[in-house]
Structure formats: structure tokens, C-alpha cells
Amino acid sequence: MSALLQEAEGRLAPLAVARNLAWWDSQVAATDETEERRTRAELAWSDALADSELFAAVERAREAARGAGARQLELLRHLMLTQQVPTELRERIVELESSVDVRFARHRGVVRGVEVDDIEIKRILRQSDDPGERREAWEASKTVGAEVADDVRQLARLRNEAARGLGYRDWFALSLAVDEVDESKLLETLRDADAVTREPFARWKSALDQRLAARFGCAGSELRPWHYADPFFQELPPDGAVDLDALFAGRDVVALSRRTFEGIELDVAGVLGRSDLYPRDGKCQHAFCIDVDRGGDVRILANVVTNHESAETMLHELGHGVYDLELSADLPWLLRSTHVVATEGSAILFGSLARKRDWLEVVLGLGAGDGTELADRLRASEAAELLVFARWVLVMNAFERALYADPDGDLDALWWDLVSRFQGVAPPDGRSAPDWAAKIHVAVAPVYYHAYLYGEIVALQVAAALEARAGGIVDRPAAGALLRDVFYGPGQSVRWDELVERATGASFSVDALAREVALADA
Ligand SMILES: [Zn+2]
């Protein structure tokens, strides 16, 4: 069995490094050459994972395996499982996915006779006081849905065919299985999340609706989706947010993030040295952290400017980076990796520091009086943001579950049932359109949304544990040591939910979420 694992690592590890480097190069400088190399490296990686003889050997070895070997085989199986789909079917899925993706990228809605991109639609929904213009912008944000809906249904049918060929009920069940998320536990967690957020959300939203009705001169019962500040009502509207940008004027955001990790004795100098942190032409406009070789080559790509969002982004990406760096060097290659929920938990934990009183006072150097004044408003707005987001995740998850259960069902009506139930948003009168298909994640990042909420919950749970055991995070080396020893060090030698339980002393649950959202209307 260990010979099998050695063989698998010997083949996969170099391909993973090549794929990571090719990805990095294509994001740092998008050229035909880097793009072509990235595609080749990606193919070599997925071809290796598709190897049916290796997969059969893994399946056989699993039966007899125990201990650390068994855990490695389990992860290897999950890595390879979705690639064990007949080549022709796999290619049809990939082609249809990228065709939908391209149509999303090219599509432009029309407002007042002018083509607009997503940024302009969002600007109108945040700023415009003209309900007619807002309605046009919202409707423009949905036209892409009508264009791709038939193909998104077809994608769901093809994915289901692939999943059933592998012995799973549908794609929803297969996705959860390879991500090591227990489906009945997921449904229970989301039911609990619904229960603990329902009333605080209703209270917070009724106050929001009163402000919106006054702003737009209508009754609360006349509010429709275009009165909210983004196309899916998934973000905190600007009138509830706290703007911290003025505090960052003239400050060095990268130095502040380095200082944050120095304060807990986690060394990020090497990561920052290998990173590409500032805006430049031809470079990816987002931010990410990548562990190139599971041996210390960890890098961040970012586009740092001098504001609060950049500080939060740098702390977030370094929260991924320290996790990768502190994976125990003794772990075999397959286990020297992170589960998406755990690493997002670490990243969200550090990203949120940029809105915490401790950090603003100690790292940014805000006077104690100003910190106190800000602290309450920041806590309330963070709690409201979490409420809005949690209700949106409930819509997405319930919708995708239904989509894969029956891709031919009445999805247009179902979507508005869910939006009314979980988000309290009334559908436009007489609306009949595939508004669900305008959400790009349904097509290209299927069955993933719960992981965002899980990451938020893990961050809250870890923060509470560090508060109890180390007195907090900022300038508490004991917090850094705890993270290294009990949360980061074990890698994937244990399942993510067991890891969370060991690291925080409490099983994964919505308790921390319930405590946090109770502050929304404080
Ligand atoms: Zn992240």
C-alpha cells in the first residue's frame, strides 16, 4: 500500500507544482504563451487524476487500509473521483461550462439604451434615487439569465449523468461527498442557521425597509428587488456599512499586515518577498494565495492600494498563507494540504481583524477614544453583513439542491419562493423569467456556496477559542502558537470538522453564528 501511495505522490506532486507555477505565471502576466502553458499543465494534471488503473488500485487498497495510510487513500480517491467520468461526457461538461462562462463575460445589459457592465449596474443600485432607472438596471442584470438558462439546465443533467455513473444520487450528493461534507449534517446546519438568523434578520430588514420606503417615497409593501443595493441582495447595503478608508490614508498596508503577523510570531516575510502585491497592466485584478510546492513556496497575488479593503484583503490572503506555511513538515504530501472550509476560516479570521477595535488601536494606532466610538458601529455592521449573507446562502443552497433533484422542474417559480422566504424580498408582479440563471456560480462553481458560510462559522468559532485561551489575537503570541499547533499543523490528517472540534473544543455548529448575529440590531 505504501508503494502505491509513493507511486501516486511521485506522479502527482511534480504535476501539481508545474500546474501551480503555470497558473501563477498566467495570472501575473496574461499572454498567449502563459495561457497556453497553463492549459497544458492543467490537462497533464487532470489526465493523471483520470488514470483508471491507478484509481482501481486506490479502491482496492482502501478496503484493507488503516491509520494514516487510509486517510491518504481517502483523499486521493476524492481527488480522482470526479475525473473517473467517461472522457466524452467529461469533455461535454467542460465545453458547456466554458461556453456559459464566456457568455457571462461578454454579456452586457442595457440601461436607458446604453450597454452597461456589472460595475455600472451595481453603481446605479447603490446610488440612484430614481426607481425607474433602478428597475431598468436590475432587469438588465437578469438578461444574461435568459440567455444561458437552457444550457445551465443541460449542465445539471450532464453533471447528474456523471454522478450517477459513479454511484451517487446526483451531482449535489457527489460534490458534497468529495468535499467531505456530510449531507444530512449540512441540511441540519442550514436549518439551524435559518432558525437563528430568521428573527434578527427580520428585525434588521424591517428597519432597512422603512429607510428605503422613505427614500423612494413608497409604502414598504411596494418595495421590489431593485430597491435593494445589489442585484441579489447578498451584500450589506452602503447605508449600514462603516467607511474606514480615511483611517488608512498615507499608511503602508503591506507593512501593517506584516506587523499583524509579527505580533503573533508567525513569520510571513518569506511569503511577502515572493509575492506580487501591487496593481500593474496585464495582471489579474483579484487576489489569491497559492501554495506552490507544499514545501514553503507560498505566494500572494494582490492589487494593494491604500484603503481598508486592501488591508482586509492582505490579512485575508496571509491568513491562507500562514496556514500553508505552518503545515507540519512531517506530514506526507497528500496530507500536507488544507480543506477549503478550514483555510477560508483562517483567512476570514485574519481579514476581519481590520474591523476589530484591538487591531485598529494596536496595529493602526487609533486613539483609544476613537476605537471605542467605532467599535459598536463596526460590530453591528459586521453582524448585519453576516445576516444578509447567511440568508442568501440559504437561497443558493436550497435552489441548487432542487436544481440537481430535478433539472426540468419549475425553477423560475422556485427561485422566487426561496428569495421571498429567506430574504424577505417580494418578486416583481407577474415576473416569469429564469432569474436564477443570472447567478454565475450556479453554472461554473456548482454546489460551493455553503463553503463560504462554513468558513465564516469556523472563523467565529476559532476566534472565540483564541479569546478564551489566549485573550484574543492581536499581539498575542500564544494565539499564534495555538493556531500553529492545533489548527494548522495537522493538515488534512483529520477531516475538517474533526479538526475544528479539536482546535476549538466545540463541535462545528451555528452557536457562534447565533451569538454574532444577535449584535446586528444592538
Ligand atoms: Zn480566501
**pLDDT tens track for 432-466:** 999 999 999 999 999 999 999 999 999 999 999 99
Residue 282 has pLDDT above 90, yes or no: no
**pLDDT for res 1:** 56
Separation of CA 344 and ligand 1 centre (Å): 5
Does the pTM surpass 0.75? The reply is yes
SS3 299: strand
Is 160:403 a contact under the CB 8 Å cutoff?
no
Is 513:390 a contact under the CB 8 Å cutoff?
yes
H/E stretch holding 116: strand 114-116
What is the CA angle 234-235-236, rounded to 5?
Answer: 135
What end-to-end distance do the CA atoms of the chain give, in Å?
A: 57
Separation of CA 286 and ligand 1 centre (Å): 11
Separation of CA 341 and ligand 1 centre (Å): 10
Separation of CA 320 and ligand 1 centre (Å): 7
| For residues 152-161, average pLDDT | 98
Q: Which residues of 470-498 are buried (b: 16+ CB within 10 A; e: fewer)?
A: bebbbbbeebbebbbebbbbbbbbbbbbe
**pLDDT tens track for 184-194:** 999 999 999 99
Separation of CA 338 and ligand 1 centre (Å): 12
Separation of CA 340 and ligand 1 centre (Å): 9
**pLDDT tens track for 305-322:** 999 999 999 999 999 999
Q: Which residues of 320-344 are buried (b: 16+ CB within 10 A; e: fewer)?
A: bbbbbbbbeeebbbbbbbbbbbbbb
Which segment, 35-44, 280-289, 377-386, 399-408, is predicted with the most confidence on average?
399-408
Which segment, 13-17, 372-376, 378-382, is predicted with the most confidence on average?
13-17
Is 444:173 a contact under the CB 8 Å cutoff?
no
**pLDDT tens track for 21-73:** 999 999 999 889 999 999 999 999 999 999 999 999 999 999 888 887 999 99
